[in-house]
């Protein structure tokens, strides 16, 4: 029997799957950095980013729309309509997969040569294209299973996909390297790992589909023995697709913002920085941006977004009954959690960027780009969280409009800044984009509720950030320059541990000692955070008593 997952369990499963997938994606880049030079890393980055961009266009938002439509039909006692929605979604996924795969195979040389100006990337782009045959179908199945409250199917398939992708990508790249086929083939072998990942995920989804089909057959048999007559409604595919796209298009546009920025930066890097770098330096910076900076910049948002996601159903429920005081309280709490958890992760990775890059990758090259991009994730986290708050308040078109404005800002500022500052101009333009979207989101949120994040405690919070990050930087600098006589990797690892420990320890202590976090705040936090803060809260309470 296939068991349904509760809301809390489903949230944990999806958050854990996203966490595992993100870290596996990062650790795929590490061995590739050792196997590729600036050309090979650039080929891989160009191919991987166009693939991820097309994947979001083909599937982003649609699983959520399917989940909503299916869950509503089952709640209304119309399972036949839910199954017809599933059938329509599978047809759409199949056609989309074939179409995008063929287009990518055909236009790979044109894109690599004339858009990205990396002619050798065409082989890697074509190698990753077949993965798009399966992922749209997988996305439709995940949406249907989520609508049936079977979160484990999507979570397990995502983890299996990432494990197979990383193993096969690294393994194939190593084999090609040993054979001496050159950087084009190494990059192609690495991207081809995504095809094996898609096959593994598809196999998991088929397994769950068979189990669910058997369960539905048993349920239908039992219902037929007790039911008298049932009028079956016929829902046209046209009506299904109209409803599907109405729900999914705003989500697609909103969710593609970060990936569009990465796609834009790597696709037009050579063109935009042509007057700033020579050809060799441009290849090197593109490699560092894609393989190192963009990979590591995905870490800071993980915890903050996972914590805030668990609050979204509560906000939605409160807004649906117009309990605006509860909406205000929960939205403020979400932003408070994001501020307290996302900001320190970004700052620690920023001040220790050289040590983190040196520990994980072949050398410290590109560590300044890593520091700049991870610092900007503070605003990315704020943007993403405010997007989800607006969506929870039944305003999905607002984040979409703001995302489109942000994308325009990104393109315009990139055209202005990249020729002047190179990769740092592109990174700065991304930060401006995130800030623009977040500010527009907050302006819309404040039209309905008053967010109370820190109130008068911002000065104490600013001091906490300045002291903890400043001392963290000094620790990192001291370790790298004065710890000698041991291998460089060990020095970098020691620096990461000490910098992270000092910065995080000071951060948590100062939050409480400077009264930035109150006992009332701590009582509303998730269990793990409450346990972490409890001893320090006792110390602070003794000082005030």
Residue 148 dihedral angles phi and psi, to the nearest 5°? -90, 10
C-alpha to C-alpha distance for 402 and 246, rounded to whole angstroms:
17
The pLDDT of residue 372: 96
Domain ranges across the chain: 1-220+238-255, 257-453, 455-544
C-alpha to C-alpha distance for 112 and 127, rounded to whole angstroms:
13
Tokens of residue 431, six digits: 């930060």
Residue among 174, 224, 239, 169 nearest 200 (CA): 169
The pLDDT of residue 10: 55
The count of other CB atoms within 10 Å of the CB of residue 321 is: 9
Q: 178: left (phi > 0), else alpha (psi -120 to 50), else beta? A: alpha
Helices (H) and strands (E) in the chain, counts: 24, 0
The pLDDT of residue 104: 92
Task: Output the DSSP codes for 178-245.
Answer: HHT--HHHHHHHHHHHHHHHHHHHHHHHHHHHHHHHHHHHHHHHHHHHH----PPP---HHHHHHHHH
C-alpha to C-alpha distance for 67 and 86, rounded to whole angstroms:
10
The torsion of the CA quartet 270, 274, 279, 283, rounded to 10 degrees, works out to -30
Q: pTM for this structure? A: 0.83
C-alpha to C-alpha distance for 41 and 121, rounded to whole angstroms:
10
Task: Output the DSSP codes for 496-520.
Answer: HHHHHHHHHHHHHHHHHHTTSS-HH
pLDDT tens, position by position, for the chain (545 residues)?
Answer: 555 544 455 556 666 666 777 777 777 788 888 898 888 999 999 998 888 888 777 666 788 788 878 888 887 788 888 889 999 999 999 999 999 999 999 999 999 999 999 999 999 999 999 999 998 999 899 888 888 877 778 788 888 888 899 999 999 999 999 999 999 999 999 999 999 999 999 999 999 899 888 887 777 666 555 554 444 557 788 889 988 888 888 888 888 899 899 999 999 999 999 889 999 999 999 999 998 999 899 888 876 666 655 566 677 778 877 888 888 888 888 888 788 878 888 999 999 999 999 999 989 999 999 999 999 999 999 998 898 888 878 788 899 999 999 999 999 999 999 999 999 999 999 999 999 999 999 999 999 888 887 778 889 999 999 999 999 999 999 999 999 889 999 999 999 999 999 999 999 888 888 888 777 766 666 566 666 666 766 666 665 55
The pLDDT of residue 516: 82
Under a CB-based contact definition with an 8 Å cutoff, are residues 313 and 388 in contact?
no
Angle between helices 257-267 and 367-392 (to 10 degrees): 150
C-alpha to C-alpha distance for 118 and 125, rounded to whole angstroms:
11
The pLDDT of residue 229: 44
Tokens of residue 334, six digits: 């979400």
Q: CA angle, 83 as apex, 80 and 86 as ends, to 5°?
A: 155
Going along 280-399, which residue ranges are E strands?
none
């Amino acid at each position: 029997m296939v068991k349904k997952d509760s809301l809390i369990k489903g949230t944990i499963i999806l958050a854990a799957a996203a966490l595992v997938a993100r870290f596996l994606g990062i650790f795929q880049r590490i061995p590739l950095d050792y196997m590729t030079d600036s050309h090979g890393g650039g080929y891989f980055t160009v191919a991987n980013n166009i693939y991820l961009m097309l994947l979001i266009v083909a599937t982003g938002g649609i699983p959520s729309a399917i989940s909503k439509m299916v869950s509503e039909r089952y709640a209304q006692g119309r399972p036949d309509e839910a199954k017809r929605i599933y059938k329509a979604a599978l047809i759409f996924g199949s056609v989309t997969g074939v179409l995008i795969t063929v287009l990518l195979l055909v236009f790979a040389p044109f894109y690599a040569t004339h858009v990205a100006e990396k002619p050798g990337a065409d082989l890697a782009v074509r190698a990753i294209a077949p993965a798009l045959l399966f992922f749209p179908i997988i996305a439709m199945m995940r949406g249907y299973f989520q609508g049936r409250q079977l979160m484990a199917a999507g979570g397990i398939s995502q983890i299996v996909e990432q494990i197979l992708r990383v193993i096969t990508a690294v393994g194939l790249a190593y084999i090609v390297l040993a054979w001496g086929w050159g950087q084009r083939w190494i990059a192609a072998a690495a991207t081809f790992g995504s095809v094996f990942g898609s096959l593994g995920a598809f196999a998991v989804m088929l397994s769950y589909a068979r189990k669910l089909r058997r369960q539905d057959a048993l349920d239908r048999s039992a219902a037929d023995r007790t039911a008298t007559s049932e009028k079956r409604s016929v829902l046209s595919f046209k009506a299904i697709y109209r409803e599907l796209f109405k729900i999914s298009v705003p989500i697609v546009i909103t969710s593609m913002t970060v990936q569009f920025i990465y796609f834009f930066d790597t696709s037009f890097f050579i063109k935009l920085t042509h007057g700033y770098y020579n050809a060799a330096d441009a290849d090197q910076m593109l490699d560092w941006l894609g393989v190192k900076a963009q990979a590591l910049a995905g870490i800071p948002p993980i915890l903050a977004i996972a914590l805030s996601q668990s609050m979204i159903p509560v906000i939605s429920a409160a807004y649906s009954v117009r309990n605006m005081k509860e909406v205000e309280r929960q939205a403020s709490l979400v932003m408070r959690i994001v501020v307290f958890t996302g900001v320190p992760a970004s700052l620690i990775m920023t001040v220790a960027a050289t040590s983190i890059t040196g520990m994980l990758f072949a050398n410290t090259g590109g560590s300044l780009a890593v520091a700049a991009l991870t610092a900007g994730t503070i605003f990315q986290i704020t943007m993403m969280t405010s997007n989800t708050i607006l969506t929870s308040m039944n305003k999905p078109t607002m984040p979409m409009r703001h995302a489109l404005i942000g994308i325009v800002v990104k393109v315009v500022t990139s055209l202005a800044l990249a020729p002047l500052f190179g990769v740092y101009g592109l990174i700065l333009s991304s930060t401006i984009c995130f800030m623009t979207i977040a500010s527009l989101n907050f302006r819309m949120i404040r039209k309905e509720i008053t967010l109370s994040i820190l109130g008068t405690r911002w000065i104490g919070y600013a001091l906490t950030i300045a002291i903890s990050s400043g001392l963290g930087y000094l620790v990192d600098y001291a370790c790298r320059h004065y710890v000698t006589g041991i291998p460089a990797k060990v020095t970098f690892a020691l620096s990461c541990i000490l910098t992270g420990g000092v910065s995080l320890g000071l951060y948590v202590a100062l939050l409480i000692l400077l009264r930035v976090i109150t006992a009332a705040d701590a009582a509303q936090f998730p269990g793990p955070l409450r346990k972490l803060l409890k001893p320090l809260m006792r110390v602070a309470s003794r000082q005030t008593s």
